[in-house]
Amino acid sequence: MAIPLTWYLILAAALFCIGFYGVLARRNAVPILMGVELMLNAVNINFLAFWRYVRPEEPVGQVFAIFVLAVAAAEAAVGLALIISIYRTRKTINVDRIDLLKG
């Protein structure tokens, strides 16, 4: 046990924050989607870390991680499709200007 659990958690939290910062700060929709991918992977690290350190006899964490990967792939596909669709109608993918729901 050379590396304690905490390190993994700090890594995952840092990764999540970087991803979340990207989601909040970027104007372009494609990097926002990339930020979401970072956040999902941060969660995956958490799952695997907790599985390995807390309850290695049950592979629940692993299964979840695989689910998240599959869902992330689907999410990326759908997200990119939406971005292309938005681009076709509005000629932009700048999220500041995609504000149809403005009250």
Partner 1 sequence: MSESIFNLTWLIPLPPLLAFFAIILFTNRNKRLSSNVAIGAVAVSWILSWLVAITFFVKPELVEHPFDVVVPWIPTATTTFNMGVAVDAVTAGMLFMVGFVLTMIFVYSSGYMTFPGHLDPSLNTDGLDPRYSRFFAYISLFATGMLGLVVSNNLLMLFIFWEIMGLCSYLLIGFWFEKKYPDPKQITPKEAGLKAFLTTRVGDVLLMIGLIFLYIQAGDLNFQTVFSGDTLQRIAESTVNLPFFGEASWAVVISVLIFFGAIGKSAQFPLHVWLPDAMEGPTPVSALIHAATMVSAGVYLIVRMSPIFVAAGHGENGAMTFVAFIGAFTALFAATIAVAQNDIKRVLAYSTISQLGYMFAALGIGAWVAAIFHLLMHAFFKALLFLGSGSVIHGVEHGHHHANEHGDHDKGFFDAQDMLNMGGLLKRMPRTGWTFIIGGAALSGFPLITSGFWSKDEILSDAWANGHALVFWTLAIAALLTAFYTFRQIFLTFFGEPRSEAAAHAPESVPAMTVPLMLLSVFALAGGWVGIPEHFPGLGALLNNPMGRLMGGQAEFYKLHYETLPFHVFPVAVSMTVALGGILLAWLVYGRKPLKAGEPDPLQVWLGPVHTVLKNKYYFDEFYHATVVRFARWFADLCYSFDDRWFIDPIVDGVGRVGRWVSNALRRFIDEPIIDGAVNGAGLVTQAAGSVVRLLQTGQVQNYLLVLLLTVLVLLAMIQFV
Residue choice 11, 18, 23, 38 for contact with partner 1 (CB under 8 A): 23
Determine the Cα–Cα distance for residues 63 and 103; give it in Å rounded to an integer.
42
Least separation in angstroms between residue 33's CB and partner 1 is: 12
What sign results for the dihedral spanned by CA atoms 14, 43, 95, 80? positive
Report the length, in residues, of the chain. Answer: 103
Q: Considering only residues 41-100, where is the footprint of partner 1 by CB under 8 A?
A: 95-96, 98-100
**Nearest residue (CB) to partner 1, 22 versus 61:** 22
Tell me how far the alpha carbon of residue 61 is from its chain's centroid: 17
* Spatial contact of 60 and 66, defined as CB atoms under 8 Å apart: no
Q: Using the minimum distance from each CB to partner 1, give the nearer residue, 20 or 50.
A: 20
The stretch near partner 1 (CB under 8 A) out of 8-16, 19-27, 38-46, 73-81 is 19-27
Place of tokens 């509005």: 90
Chain residues that interact with partner 1, rule: CB under 8 A: 20, 23-25, 32, 95-96, 98-103
